[in-house]
């Protein structure tokens, strides 16, 4: 079976790569979004009030990265 080539992407949108139902739903959300940034929060996690600020700041910085990941803290 020949390898499948990845689908074309818009330069300011990223596509989740996991081939799972969660990945499919996220990919649909990315495609339907008109926003420059997309953030995902699973139903079993919480964000602190300042969680996205540093990530957006890094993305907006001149020469900044194409994507940002913020790790979560484990709460007992």
Mind listing the pLDDT tens digit for each residue in 59-72? Answer: 999 998 888 887 76
This model's pTM is above 0.75: no
For 35, the token pair is 């926003």
Distance between alpha carbon 51 and the CA centroid of its chain, in Å? Answer: 14
- Supply the mean pLDDT for the chain: 75
For residue 59, what are the contacts with CB-CB under 8 A and spacing of at least 6? 37, 65, 67, 68
- The count of residues in the chain is 76
Both tokens of 15, joined, read 């596509």
Q: What is the pLDDT of residue 18?
A: 46
Our separate counts of H helices and E strands in the chain read 2, 0
Instruction: Between 28 and 45, name the one with better pLDDT.
Output: 28
10-26 confidence digits (pLDDT tens): 555 555 454 567 778 88
Q: How confident is the model at residue 75 (pLDDT cuts 50, 70, 90)?
A: low
């Amino acid at each position: 079976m020949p390898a499948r080539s990845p689908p074309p992407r818009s330069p300011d949108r990223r596509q989740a790569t996991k081939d799972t139902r969660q990945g499919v739903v996220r990919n649909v959300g990315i495609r339907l979004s008109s926003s420059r940034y997309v953030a995902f929060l699973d139903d079993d996690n919480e964000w602190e009030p300042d969680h996205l600020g540093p990530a957006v700041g890094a993305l907006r910085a001149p020469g900044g990265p194409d994507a940002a990941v913020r790790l979560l803290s484990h709460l007992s």
